[in-house]
Structure 1
């Protein structure tokens, strides 16, 4: 579903910048696989104007419209377009028969959205006995929590192999936060005072804090930040969303979002900002 309707701004189901970020990686993937002699299929949403799916989603990818076309960044790569009317790449399409003839060693699935059509494609392929690979930096969704849920489900329930096209999936090095950071010694006076007041008042509101880059660059230091948050945030009462270590980012793009009882992380805002800025080469 790497279609204009999902990847170009202005359409009702535009998936956002996180989806556009995977386009260069998919280009690399296609170039690699075509050079190896692999067969490429573009599975494309293709709906009638009165499709029942429009009771759940706004009308999109209607047959004969530009919205249903493969994005220009990928359209010139050699591949067969297969229209589909449901989340499934197999139901009501010729894909199953084509794969039977090809007898591939494995099926590589990429595109959008991770938790909808990508997940169904992986499930359908695994049910039919195919070895499936999903490059995690070649899939995306408009919903980050659902994106990660789908990746976990594909790997641990469906048995798909998750890989990274650009970087190794080796586990990152383990970091231990400095005691001076854990003790709150590095806290800016404003954050420290806020936590002090909340403790005296006996309240601990759940708050959301976002960190963003002042300019474009490459994100570094996120693994150190995650190690710190793992030590200080209460179990089961918070949500942390973060871009991946080493990811290219745009100016003013959110790189980290913490939702948790404020007292648990208020003393560490300065440290988090400092780690990300220092490692990424920015000013705080």
Structure 2
């Protein structure tokens, strides 16, 4: 590969805050001939807090030099007790989308993916219904129907996991998948399952949020994209969106408005996760935009 070939890397870092972190990283990249294109950092507490950083850099002799940088960064990471990831910018993350019957979030993701706006590879779509099978297969994406029978959820989840083993899945997207995942399933993909909740969390948790919103006479309809944890609808929030409504809206009008907020918030969250812009900090997130 020519020495003039260039490629970009993305470095995400979390560690205890202390002096010298930025200098050490910058010096390391400089010594390896990398040019920092973008850098952002955040400390959640100036005294004894956590330090978060995202760096995008270009490097020659790509990708060979990239893998050398990844290997030789380990001593610095160990010295500062870092949790870190270093990804190639040109590698699209592999995604599995979970759906039920509603199509608005799915079709938004499919449209953005086909138009090149979503930097992902959609490996497959899994659904507990066949309602949207033709829609998915029209995009030439594998579709798997795995129903969730009463009292047989463990068997269904095991079948899903076996299905996902066929692909190099990086993360999952629940695009209105109307099932609660078990703790055992979630443990296979920690901070790698993105859900869209049709409400501006933490308000209106659980079922029928639009009926709850209507009964409260809300003036804003929201949607929340978050990581899935074992606590229902309480995982770290990645993105939220709101649209204004008024007293003339009935419960169905609120639902229609909410769908627009849902698909926008979910698409943003998927994009930001795919671009390595999100770091989980306990039950919050740091999102570098």
Report the TM range for the smaller structure's normalisation.
Answer: 0.3 to 0.5
Larger radius of gyration: 1
- TM-score w.r.t. structure 1 length? 0.33
Per residue, is there more strand in 1 or in 2? 2
Per residue, is there more helix in 1 or in 2? 1
